Amino acid sequence: MRYIFLDIDGVLNNQAFLLASDKNVDLTIDENAVKTLGKICRKLKAKVVISSAWRVGWNNGGPRTTRLRNLFAKYKIDVVGLTSTDTKFTRAEQIIMYVCDHFKCGDSWVAIDDEELYLSSRRFVKTDFYGEGLTMKHYKPIRDALKYTIKEEWTTN
């Protein structure tokens, strides 16, 4: 199975988008970025694990989260989990713990975030909050990251 650890802010939105949204709660997520994520997930047959701070309110049904869940459903994005919310660990550590606890040797994963996570460059794709967020230009690095299973990562240089 293939998995994408997903940050939200800076990936599914960006500074210019948020400034243009005029603080409208319904517009904090760029639907075009969600559509791009859906396209990437379908092409790569990948499922999503939320690693964003948004995971804290993922199950509370607030307006932003509800809109995001509806957009994920619209673009057929399958969210299968949330990383830990334990703040004594960094986001990268939370991702590694999730991988260790839930994935098999034949699984593959990548983290997409606009902040540096200090993960292997083979497993991390950086977007730009001050740029465009997630676009199809990220497809190739995401695809390349998902080529390696967990087992292959440990047995190849």
Q: What tens digit of pLDDT does each residue of 5-39 get?
A: 999 999 999 888 888 876 665 668 899 999 999 99
| pTM for the predicted model, two decimal places | 0.92
Give the percent of the chain with pLDDT over 90.
66
Does 101 have pLDDT greater than 60?
yes
Mean of the per-residue pLDDT values of the chain: 90
pLDDT (0 to 100) of residue 138: 97
* pLDDT category of residue 155 using cuts at 50, 70 and 90: low
pLDDT (0 to 100) of residue 121: 83
Average pLDDT for 75-90: 95
Query: Could you tell me if 150 and 104 are in contact, meaning their C-beta atoms sit under 8 angstroms apart?
Result: yes
- Angle, nearest 10°, between helix axes 31-44 and 63-74? 40
Structural Rg of the chain based on CA atoms: 15
Does 157 have pLDDT greater than 80?
no
Query: Could you tell me if 51 and 5 are in contact, meaning their C-beta atoms sit under 8 angstroms apart?
Result: yes
Q: Is the dihedral of CA 9, 123, 150, 33 positive or negative?
A: positive
